Structure 1
Amino acid sequence: MATSTATRDSKGRFKGSESEKGGSNFGMVAGAVAGGAALGILAMFGRKAAVQAPTMLAGNWDEALAAEHAATLKVFDAIEATDEKASVRRNMLLAHLKHALMKHAIEEENVIYPALREIGQIEAADELNKEHGYVKQYLYELENTPTASPEWIAIVRKFRADIEEHMQEEEMKLFPMLRAQLSEEKNKHLTATMNKEGFKVA
């Protein structure tokens, strides 16, 4: 009968045994997975910060929302500059527009419109919310219409006209009214809360 020349450690395990190597390998794999997950989380937060940064840097909540309005109109400009052959570009721009409008709607619906209700502008807040429903309808129609069809760009142009009217009502009338009725501290709180909401979906 052959005898083993392997030595044991203080716990009675053979040095260099397969079970020890397996445990070591598992630790290395687990460490790599944890490191990858941490990098993924950091990348996600970095992307969110980059998306929300223009809003945060724009200043007070009303200035930030106006900056988002302007950025949205630039996306419409880019879409309207395409022709019927640019289906890939149109789809990419539509996806960008949809994400930007979704984030913007969350900021307004979860923070600004409730603040409008607090100052007694309940009817105006409800009307703005209803108009956001039409925004979703336009996006649905665009996603379900062939991008190469003349109807698609016609929907885009009608969408733009309606959304510009919505933006002007907010920027020229309702936002200045809300800001004027709030204290400086309350306006700062509204800005911080709005940025927090935007960051969640950025």
Structure 2
Amino acid sequence: MATKTETKSGSAGGNKAHRSAFSWGDSDSGMLLGAAAAGAALGLAANMGRKFFVQYASAASGDWSETLKTEHEMALAIFDKMQATDDSQTMSRSHLLAKLKYALSKHAIQEEMVIYPALRQATDTEEADHLNEDHGYVKTYLYELETMAGDDPQWLARVGDFRTMIEEHMREEEDEIFPRLRDRLSDEQNAKLATMMNKEGFKFA
């Protein structure tokens, strides 16, 4: 996103019984590493649990548009954190940019593989092509920010330009295009779209 070599104990008795499976030389460090690993596993499980719950709920309700709206809000929350940084926080900027790229890439896959084709099928070919073209600009902004130094004085300005562009794209989807598509479809068709979209999301995760 140094490896250590495990030190084998010369004792076959009591000392071995006190060693953790995560130990690399002493029981204290082993306990700490074990606790850290357990904590990370619990955190991952909790995150996956929340993700599964949100995506399962959207699939069950057929409310794919609400799921995409929530993902929009999550991306904007990352933008908030990025815009709160200063030029000395290059590591934070790099980390947040990676999070934003992941969130937007997963989101784009869901839309491009399921929602935009459904738009085309509903004869909204021009709108689907327009939204897909916007995704090309999203990739361009991500590339520019990844190749720009984290302490570049223009970094925040570019983030601001990116946010302005993507907010316009999001509002167009949320306020006009997606509601119109959703209203054209039956409950069964909307539920099928939600199921297909969430399947694509899980593939990306």
Aligned partners of 1:61 and 1:187 also within 8 Å: yes
Cross-structure match for 2:131: 128
| Secondary structure in 1 matching 2:150 | coil
AA partner of residue 117 (structure 2): P
Q: Does 1:141 align with 2:140?
A: no
Alpha-carbon separation, structure 2, partners of 1:49 and 1:195: 14
What is the aligned counterpart of 2:196 among 190, 193, 197?
A: 193
In structure 1, the partner of 2:72 is 69
Contact 1:49 1:199 in 2 (8 A): no
Structure 1 141/112 Cα, relative in aligned 2: closer, same or farther at 3 Å?
same
Select which of 93, 98, 102 maps to 2:96.
Answer: 93
Separation in 2, partners of 1:57, 1:75: 24
How far apart, CA to CA, are the structure 1 residues paired with 2:151 and 2:127? 37
Distance 1:92 1:51 in 2: 21
Task: Identify the residue that residue 24 of structure 2 maps to in structure 1.
Answer: none
* 1:66-94 alpha-carbon deviations (Å, 9 max, x no partner): 00000100000000011111101110000
Match of residue 160, structure 1, among 163, 166, 170: 163
Asked if 1:177 is matched to 2:183, the reply is no
1:53 and 1:102, CA in 2 relative to 1: closer, same or farther beyond 3 A? Answer: farther
Asked whether 1:78 is paired with 2:81, we answer yes
Other-structure match for 1:151: 154
How many aligned residue pairs are there? 160
Question: Between the two proteins, what is the percent identity of the paired residues?
Answer: 49
Normalised by the length of structure 2, the TM-score is 0.73
- Deviation of 1:165 after TM superposition, in Å, equals 0.0
Distance 1:55 1:147, change over 3 A: farther
Structure 1 segments, 4+ long, off by >3 Å, are 45-59
1:115 and 2:114 are equivalent in the alignment: no
Deviation sequence 1:76-115 (CA, Å, 0-9, x none): 0000011111101110000000000000000000000000
The 5-angstrom pairing of residues 14-25 of structure 1 reads: none
Q: CA deviation at 1:50?
A: 4.7
Corresponding residue SS for 1:185: helix
Runs of at least 5 residues in structure 1 that lack an aligned partner in the other structure: 1-41
CA shift, 1:150, in A, is 1.5
Classify 1:181/1:95 alpha carbon distance in 2 versus 1 (closer, same or farther; 3 Å).
Answer: same
Q: CA offset at residue 151 of structure 1?
A: 1.2
Secondary structure of the 1:150 match is coil
The separation in 1 between residues aligned to 2:130 and 2:123, in whole angstroms, is 14
CA shift digits 1:11-53 (9 cap, x unpaired): xxxxxxxxxxxxxxxxxxxxxxxxxxxxxxx99x956555454
The amino acid across from 1:131 in the alignment is D
Contact 1:72 1:100 in 2 (8 A): yes
Question: In 2, Cα distance between the equivalents of 1:52 and 1:182?
Answer: 25
